[in-house]
Structure 1
Amino acid sequence: MTSAAAAIPLLITRPAGKADYLLAALDEAGTGYLYQPLITTAQVTISPHDVQQLQQADAIVFVSVSAVSCLQQQLDGALLKAPLYAVGQTTASALQRWLGREVSVPDDQRSEGLLTLPKLQQVAGKQIVVVRGNAGRELIKQGLTARGASVRYVQSYKRLPLPLDGALLCQQWQLAGIRCIVATSNEILQQLFTLVGPEHMHWLQSCDWILVSPRMRDSALALGISDDKIRLAENANDSALLAAISQQLREYQ
């Protein structure tokens, strides 16, 4: 999908359904981009045991909008009585729309930020459920377990790579004049390199990148992207991404 603008300096890789506001804002600003999601999500059926754990929890943590939406489609929200926590504001807003209750969300919208919330400091003996996808980070569980909590996962969705022709896509990106790639998760970053293969790796390494965490920066460096090619957005929400994109585009003028 291409924006109407002629110049196309940006490649946006956010998953489908999570990029609508960002793309609309770029359209409104007349910013050229290509949009190519690399990963899709599929609902995972929760078990009666999952439902029981959610009902008995002392706190429930949601790590993403997909975690919320895929649970909402198969669970009566009235069953969730425990205090609610979200890693990011977009996830918190989705929870509030569904359940109409207060959601605690950190200013630093990452797992590291969640662990700094005052309400999650004294959790010894508490039952905490983390609603997430497949193969997510272990930091939240490790941090809360170290404080004496019992942490269980409920998987409401799984992430799947889209079946794409990486060599063809990379050729299209180069012909379009892509200069900067926006990636919002390590999974997307790694998938890009897997998708294009060794023959196009140098081109990816030559691009500028907008990433969303120091952990992603470390992964990018390990993939051969030089530090001066990396710009970190404050976090993964749309306003932070737009601010980072605006800063990057000013450098191209």
Structure 2
Amino acid sequence: MASHDAARWYVISLRPQGGHASLRRLARRHGAGLLALSPWRLQSLDGAAARAALARALAADVVLFTSPAAVVAARRLSALAPRRGQLWTTVGAGTAAALHEAGVDDVLAPARMDSEGLLALPPLQDLHGRSVGLVTAPGGRGLIARTLADRGASIRRAEVYRRLPLAPSPRALARLRALQAPAVLLLSSGEALDTLLRQLPADAIARLRALPVIAASARLADQARALGFAPVSRADGPQPGQLFAAAAAAVTPLRLASDSLPTAPTGTPA
């Protein structure tokens, strides 16, 4: 483990497999390490049924993408071209940026980048007689569909990708168990945390629960506390920079405490 503990502190990422790059860059910039505990990998869906569902969703009065992965998967199935009079919206800035990259210029995204922030947008308050195309994956964000349906919307759901559970590798578990430097768990998906906990052995779960948590929203903070995590702090939002800034603030007292511990004299076992 000595080579992994070269960093003075760590962030633990629950992003999907292959989705840790932005956090890893931020970690390197601030002298931190990153431990990836991906609970799943993402798989785009294809075939006639997926294409038909997406076409129906893209023809709705309101088109709502729930994640950047939904945008990437949808682009593999169809061109993304809003028609006049439609509202295209997203949960946050990352998904909006993915739509901009796909050529969709006019996208409404909430300042508060979570389900509650999206549902507070004025155009989504009264949806009687209107259709909402929800471009998403199975599971996740059930609050959005339920709330919009309660407001009168006809929901057209298009599942364009899916999350396949992925057990943490023995190497990742060994790193978690042996980690000695201060570390912080980053939480931007409640489903990711639930999925990970179902796959971890008891000792690894106990190790995680002993770490500070940075949650992207109040709802996620409440979920983490209900699952036995403490202490739990909130970031300003789910963007990598927001999560990392909160993590750096949370870990500073831990680093100071770690740095103040006496070191064993040379040649003396620690």
**TM-score, structure 1 normalization:** 0.88
Letter in 1 for 2:23: L
Residue 219 of structure 1 aligns to a residue in which SS? Answer: helix
1:235, distance to aligned residue in structure 2 (A): 1.8
Q: 1:117 — aligned with what?
A: 121
Amino acid at match of 1:233: A
Partner AA of 2:92 in structure 1: G
1:218 aligned residue: 222
| Cross-structure match for 2:262 | none
Query: Runs of 4+ in structure 1 displaced over 6 angstroms?
Result: none
Other-structure match for 2:154: 150
Displacement of 1:199 in angstroms is 3.6
Q: Indicate how the Cα distance of structure 1 residues 71 and 7 shifts in structure 2: closer, same or farther if over 3 A, else same.
A: same
Displacement, 1:5? 4.4
SS at match of 1:224: coil
> Quick check: 1:126 aligned with 2:130?
yes
In the alignment, structure 2 segments of 5+ residues that lack a partner are: 257-270
Give the equivalent residue in structure 2 for 1:177.
180
Paired with 1:112 and 1:31, the residues of 2 have a C-alpha distance of 32
Of 16-25 and 136-145, the range deviating more from structure 2: 16-25
Q: Secondary structure at the match of 1:99?
A: coil
Matched with 2:234 is 232
Q: 2:35·2:172 contact (CA, 8 Å) conserved in 1? A: no
Paired residues of 1:3 and 1:33 also in contact (CA < 8 A)? no
State, as a whole percentage, how many aligned pairs show the same letter: 27
The code of the aligned residue for 1:35 comes to A
State the 1:68 CA deviation. Answer: 0.4
Q: 1:243 aligns with which of 236, 242, 245?
A: 245
- Relative distance call for 1:35 and 1:55 in structure 2 (3 A) is closer
Secondary structure class of the residue paired with 2:221: helix
Which protein is bigger by CA-based radius of gyration? 2
Assess if the C-alpha contact under 8 Å between 2:88 and 2:106 holds in 1. Answer: yes
Q: Secondary structure at the match of 1:204?
A: helix
- Specify the alignment match of 1:102 in structure 2: 106
CA drift of 1:43 comes to 0.5
CA distance in 1, matches of 2:74, 2:5: 36
SS class of match (1:15): coil
Q: 1:103 deviation in Å?
A: 0.3
Find the residue that maps to 1:77 and give its secondary structure: coil
Separation in structure 2 between the aligned mates of residue 155 and residue 27 of structure 1, nearest angstrom: 35
CA RMSD of aligned residues (A): 2.2
1:89: how far off?
Answer: 0.2
Query: Is 1:61–2:61 an aligned residue pair?
Result: no
Are the counterparts in 2 of residues 8 and 176 from structure 1 also a CA contact under 8 Å? no
Higher mean C-alpha displacement, 55-64 vs 178-187: 178-187
Q: For the residues of structure 2 that align with 1:192 and 1:54, how far apart are their CA atoms? A: 31
- Structure 2 residue corresponding to 1:201, chosen from 192, 202, 205: 205
Aligned to 1:32, the other structure's residue is in SS state strand
The change in CA–CA distance for 1:91 and 1:5 in structure 2 (over 3 A counts) is: farther
TM-score, normalization: structure 2? 0.83
> Please, which moves more after superposition, 32-41 or 152-161?
32-41
> Structure 1's 24 and 199: CA in aligned 2 closer, same or farther, altered over 3 A?
closer
Any unmatched runs of 5+ in structure 1?
A: none
